[in-house]
Every structure is written in C-alpha cells, then in structure tokens.
Amino acid sequence: MIKYFGGFVTFFAFFSAFGANVLLYNDEGVDQTSLQWVSIFFKNKGDRVKAVDADFLINNPEWMTEYDKIVIPGGADCPYHKKLKGPGCRNIKRFVEDGGTYIGICAGGYFGCKKVEFALGTDLEVNEYRELAFFPGVARGPMLKPYVYDSEDGASAAKIRSSIDGSVFYSYHNGGSSFILDGIDRNGIEILAEYVDENNVPAVIRCKYGKGQAILSGIHFEADQKLLYSTSPTKELNKINPIAEKVGDTSEIKKCFLEVIL
C-alpha cells in the first residue's frame, strides 16, 4: 500500500499508472446518486473501488492496511454520525494518521470537520460537533441556495477558483459547505479552492493529519456533465440543464485541478 502526503504532482503521475485501493462508504444517509458519481469517477481514474457499510469499517480492521483512500460521499451527515461515532470514527482516524487519505464530499465534508452548522434557523438545522475533526473548525452551509432534500431546487453551478493556479471552473453544488477559518490554527491546512461569488471563502481544503491527509469538499467535484444528465430524473432536467452546461464548459480546467489534488 502506498500512502503519501507531500509532492502531490509527482506522486499523482506515478500513482495513477497503478491505481489506488478505494473504500466507498455506503450506508444509511448516503445519497445513491452521489454514490454512483463517486464510484464512476474513481473507477475512471483507474482505481479499484469497493463499497462498504459501517459494520465493515468497525469490525474489519484489516481494511486500514489494505486500502489507500476512504471516500464518504454526499447525502446526510447525521446518519453518518449515528452509525460511525465511536469505533467507526476511531478506525477512520487511525487509518488517516497512519498515512491514508480521507475524501469527504458535501455531507462527507461536513462529517470530517469538528463542527457542523447546517441550515441554521430552519427546520433542517444541524448544529452539532463531530468526532473526526480533521478540520478543527466549522463546516457551514448550505453555501449558495437553501437545501431541499430529494430535489434539484437547491442545486447550482458553483463558480470555483483553484488556489493552486488561479484557474476558474464550475462544479455542481447542492447543500455543500464552506470551511470557516476564523480563529483556527492554519498549520497543516491548505485551501485548495474557493467560492468566487461568496467572497472567496474556502470550498475545498486539505488537512494534514498524522502521516495522512483529509480532503474536504463542499462541491460535488465528481459530477461531470455526462453524469449530471444521465442520473437526473426526467422531471428535474430543466433545473439540471443550465448547471450541466456550465460544468461541461470548464470540464478540462476542473480535470486538471483534480489531477493535482487527488
């Protein structure tokens, strides 16, 4: 197993030729469309992907030495906490501390932070602490529009600027967070991308943890134009069309960004 934190560009070129062993979380709370997007995304990179539930992560500790990355996809953070708090989170933290990579997308990004502040002041409010705390601060959202479960009403094409080279691209967004840096010790925290239209607050960050890293994303970087069209219900296509077109127009820029950070 290969686990590494520094020298990302050189490492990616070497590593992509062989692919990584990726665990993909699939249990209560996981949005099945996001699960599908993530699975296709990593398989297209040449990685070997295995979907597992909370019981697997808790009761099969050998996964921590057999896999390189664990991905927690979009969905709902509260069921993740219910299933994984205690032993599940301890195993994930030990995996990362020993050199593994945690990738949290949307709900998985919230789950990787010390505190979740979601939809405050509404019926959907979540204002709770979490155990992983790779980012020792607050994940706050939704960033762009009010979130609506099982709908594209809150979806947007988020305008994103890479903090690596300044390039700008669009990414599907639906309920994701920003990462609040106020009062945070930024040692070991790297801002990878920002929301251009939201005062350049962080949209994607990397947090060093032990020998490993956690990549936390408020955007669904895994959803390309083709996936947005092919997985959206027909009744939602009128909402998806303008988003998918913007995502498609900057797909090569986003692809270059992802090749560097993942």
For 166, phi then psi, to 5°, come to 80, 0
Compute the chain's Rg from CA coordinates. 17
Helix (H) or strand (E) holding 23: strand 21-25
For 261, phi then psi, to 5°, come to -90, -20
- CATH classification of 8-261, choosing from 3.40.190.10, 3.90.850.10, 3.40.47.10, 3.40.50.880? 3.40.50.880
The residue count for the chain: 262
As a whole number of angstroms, the distance between CA 29 and CA 77 comes to: 7
pLDDT, mean of residues 119-130: 97
What is the pLDDT of the chain when averaged over all its residues? 92
pLDDT score recorded for residue 10: 39
Q: Which residue has the tokens 């809150």?
A: 154
pLDDT in tens, 128-171: 999 999 999 999 999 999 999 888 999 999 999 999 999 999 99
As a whole number of angstroms, the distance between CA 105 and CA 116 comes to: 14
As a whole number of angstroms, the distance between CA 120 and CA 133 comes to: 20
Extents of the domains making up the chain: 8-261
Cis peptide before 73 (omega within 30 of 0): no
Beta strand 168-173 pairing with 156-162: antiparallel
Residues ≥6 apart with Cβ < 8 Å to 138: 113, 114, 115, 116, 117, 179, 180
Taking each helix axis from N to C terminus, what angle separates 8-15 and 251-261, rounded to the nearest 10 degrees?
100
Q: How far is CA 197 from CA 84, 107, 157, 160, 229, in A?
A: 34, 21, 11, 8, 25
- Distance of alpha carbon 191 from the chain centroid: 14
Q: Provide the token pair at 212.
A: 């490993």
Q: Are 165 and 150 in contact (CB under 8 A)?
A: no
Q: Could you say which DSSP state residue 257 is in?
A: H
For 174, phi then psi, to 5°, come to -155, 90
Terminal Cα-to-Cα distance of the chain (whole angstroms): 16
pLDDT score recorded for residue 175: 97
pLDDT in tens, 209-240: 999 999 999 999 999 999 999 887 777 889 99
- Band (pLDDT 50/70/90 cuts) for residue 186 is very high
pLDDT score recorded for residue 7: 43
